Structure formats: structure tokens, C-alpha cells
């Protein structure tokens, strides 16, 4: 599909046709199973100041926490016992020897308790190549780093000047070179963003040849600079756009893993299942201990409930990206 066709479908004039096509592509490639990744929100302490995110350094209303080793091990054990086969360690971004060591040691603990049977994904932001290599060698073989928006203009308007578009792209290239199954993604419905930008985001993911994608609606957080800036799309439209983005990406990149995100179900409870029907094949139940979970507020009113019964779950399977395997 070229840019014009993507824009045509994103505009919503042919949803039935689009979803029929994407559903067929999904059935013929990754199939109907849903893979689980237990999400462990390690810490909301962050050194960066992204304009959209509630965890940003300058937000002094956040009660900051960091999970203990015991908490992380308990969450990993929960994932093991419930046959999730895979966990994600996500955190605010810190770049320090202490943080690098901590992640490395947690990876060792998880490897030990699971005897290597839990696939671990990291989502710990921009790091240098040596750090990415250390974590890879310690057992993390998947990494999520969103581009947020593939438009450098938008990227620069939603980040302080200390966060650089080219650096972000380079990090994603490095992750691939190191050997990670590499995931990226964007926020949908950002201020300044148009349908054309979203079409470009899809083409960018294709050109980067990513293995996995997590993308969801942008949701305002009141205590952030972007929280009061208008978006072109209201919340219902962001939900519809996210479903179209998932469907289009499935058609463009049939063999990748695509997550149906928490942000999507935050805006519309039923949409998480709908995204699975039209193209996504991964969900990430939150397994962070609940006393800390309430403080990991990337955006307002984050959804916390998830009913796994509605999905055809591949229990006990790590669900490696077919695209990566090829």
C-alpha cells in the first residue's frame, strides 16, 4: 500500500473492507492465538522530560517508587505460574552505572527462577550500545523503544531539545544490530499530528523493518505541558484511528507481533478485543504489585482491569515474532 491508499483507509471511508482484509491477512500469517507479556513497571523514576508523559522529571506530583528485587521476582513467578512465558520490564529512563547493573542483575534473577523459560523484553529507553549489549548478554532478547512520531517536526514539538530524533532512530538501529527482537511504535492522536503523519508512521515502521509494534492512542495527562494542547482528534476518533493503524500495519507487515495496548482499552474498554480481531496478536497484562501500580501514571485514568477469558491465549508459548525468526 502506498501513502495515498493508507490515507484513504485511515480516513475511515472503508472500514469494513479494511478490517476484512486485515483479518484475512492475520489468519493466514500469525493466526488467531494471542500471546501474553506480563508487564512489570519497575520504576517511575525518570531523568527525562517528555512533554506528554506523567512520569517526566519535572512532574513533582508523582510519588516515585522502585520495585524491590523480591517484588520483581514475585511478579516473574506469577507470570511463570500462569504460563505467560514472557515478561516486559518497563521503567522510567535512567542512564547510570547503577541502573545498568540493576537491570543486569534482575535479568540474572529471572533467568535463574525460570531456568531460562521466561522471555524477557526490556522497555528502558535510550541507552548506549555497550549497555544494550550487556543486557542482551544477560538474557534480554527483546526491546521496545517507540519512535513516538516518525515526523521529526512533531517529535521535536513533544520533546525537550535534549531528546533528539536522530539519536532515537540510531538506538533502534543499534538494538537490531545487537540482535534484539526490536519493537517500536507511535502515539496516535498527538497534538499537531495529521492523518498524513500517521500514514508516514506506518511507512516508517515498514522501512525500519521492525519485529514488533506497540502503538496506542495518545492520552492527555493534566500535569504535563502537552496536557492542555488540543489534538485534531477527539478520544473516540483516536480509538478508531488506532484500530485502523493496527489493521493497516498487519497488512503492511504480516509477520510482526502487534500489541493491543492498555492505552487503547483506557479510552474504550471493548477496543482491546477489537484490535485483536483486526490485526493485533499480543496483550500485556499488568503484573506490577498493586501498591506501586497506582503511581505508574503515564497518562490519566490508566486502565487496570483485563479479562483474559475473552481471548484465545497461547499459554506457555513465548510467541517469538515470526518476522524476527525469518
Does 52 interact with ligand SAH (rule: CB under 6 A)? yes
Residues 316 and 325: their CA atoms lie apart, in Å, by 18
Beta strands in the chain (DSSP E): 35-36, 38-43, 86-91, 119-123, 140-144, 181-184, 187-188, 212-214, 216-217, 257-260, 282-283
Q: Is residue 60 classed exposed, middle or buried when 0-12, 13-18 and 19+ CB atoms within 10 A define those classes?
A: exposed
Which residue from 19, 30, 93, 239 is in contact with ligand SF4, where contact means CB under 6 A? 93
Indicate whether 217 belongs to the interface with ligand SF4 (CB under 6 A). Answer: no
- Per CB under 6 A, the segment of 43-51, 200-208, 260-268, 304-312 that binds ligand SF4 is 43-51
Beta-carbon-side half-sphere exposure of residue 194 (alpha carbons within 13 Å): 4
Give residue for cell 537491570: 103
> Residue 41 interacts with ligand SF4 (CB under 6 A)?
no
Instruction: Kindly state whether residue 56 participates in binding ligand SF4, applying the rule CB under 6 A.
Output: yes
Cell of 195: 492523518
Distance CA 305, CA 145 (A): 25
State which residue, 151 or 297, has the beta carbon closest to ligand SF4.
297
- Shortest Cβ 287–ligand SF4 spacing (Å): 19
The answer to whether 87 and 41 have CB atoms below 8 angstroms apart is: no
Choice from 30, 46, 85, 188 touching ligand SF4 (CB under 6 A): 46
Q: Select 159 or 323, whichever has its Cβ closest to ligand SAH.
A: 159
Among 55, 120, 210, 247, binds ligand SF4 (CB under 6 A): 55
If binding is defined by CB under 6 A, does position 37 make contact with ligand SAH? Answer: no
146 binds ligand SAH (CB under 6 A): yes
State how far the alpha carbon of 44 is from the alpha carbons of 40, 54, 56, 173, 233, in Å. Answer: 11, 9, 9, 26, 28
Interface residues with ligand SAH (CB under 6 A)?
52-53, 90, 92-93, 123, 125, 145-146, 148, 187, 218-219, 221, 263, 298-299
Interface residues with ligand SF4 (CB under 6 A)?
46, 48, 50, 53, 55-56, 92-93, 125
Amino acid at each position: 500500500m502506498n501513502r495515498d491508499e493508507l490515507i484513504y483507509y485511515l480516513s475511515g471511508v472503508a472500514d469494513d473492507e479494511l478490517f476484512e482484509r486485515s483479518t484475512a491477512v492475520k489468519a493466514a500469517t500469525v493466526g488467531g492465538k494471542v500471546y501474553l507479556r506480563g508487564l512489570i513497571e519497575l520504576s517511575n523514576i525518570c531523568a527525562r522530560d517528555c512533554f506528554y508523559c506523567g512520569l517526566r522529571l519535572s512532574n513533582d506530583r508523582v510519588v516515585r517508587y522502585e520495585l524491590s528485587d523480591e517484588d520483581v521476582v514475585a511478579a516473574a513467578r506469577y507470570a511463570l505460574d500462569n504460563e505467560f512465558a514472557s515478561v516486559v520490564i518497563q521503567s522510567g529512563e535512567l542512564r547510570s552505572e547503577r541502573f545498568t547493573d540493576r537491570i543486569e542483575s534482575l535479568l540474572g534473577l529471572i533467568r535463574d527462577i525460570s531456568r531460562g523459560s521466561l522471555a524477557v523484553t526490556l522497555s528502558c529507553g535510550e541507552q548506549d550500545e555497550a549497555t544494550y549489549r550487556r543486557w542482551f548478554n544477560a538474557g534480554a532478547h527483546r526491546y521496545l523503544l517507540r519512535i513516538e512520531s516518525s515526523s521529526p517536526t512533531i517529535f521535536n514539538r513533544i520533546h525537550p531539545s535534549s531528546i533528539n530524533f536522530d539519536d532515537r532512530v540510531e538506538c533502534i538501529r543499534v538494538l537490531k544490530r545487537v540482535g534484539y527482537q526490536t519493537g517500536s511504535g507511535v502515539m496516535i492522536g498527538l497534538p499537531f499530528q495529521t492523518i498524513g503523519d500517521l500514514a508516514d508512521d506506518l511507512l516508517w515502521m515498514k522501512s525500519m523493518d521492525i519485529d514488533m509494534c506497540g502503538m496506542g492512542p495518545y492520552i492527555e495527562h493534566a500535569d504535563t505541558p502537552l496536557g492542555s494542547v488540543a489534538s485534531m482528534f477527539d478520544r473516540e476518533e483516536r480509538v478508531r484511528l488506532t484500530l485502523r493503524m493496527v489493521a493497516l500495519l498487519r497488512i503492511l507487515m504480516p509477520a510482526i507481533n502487534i500489541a493491543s495496548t492498555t492505552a487503547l482499552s483506557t479510552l474504550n474498554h471493548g477496543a482491546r478485543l477489537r484490535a485483536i480481531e483486526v490485526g493485533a496478536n499480543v496483550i500485556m497484562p499488568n503484573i506490577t504489585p498493586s501498591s506501586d501500580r497506582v503511581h505508574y501514571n503515564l497518562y490519566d485514568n490508566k486502565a487496570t482491569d483485563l479479562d483474559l477469558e475473552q481471548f484465545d491465549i497461547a499459554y506457555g508459548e513465548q510467541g517469538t515474532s515470526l518476522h524476527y525468526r525469518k
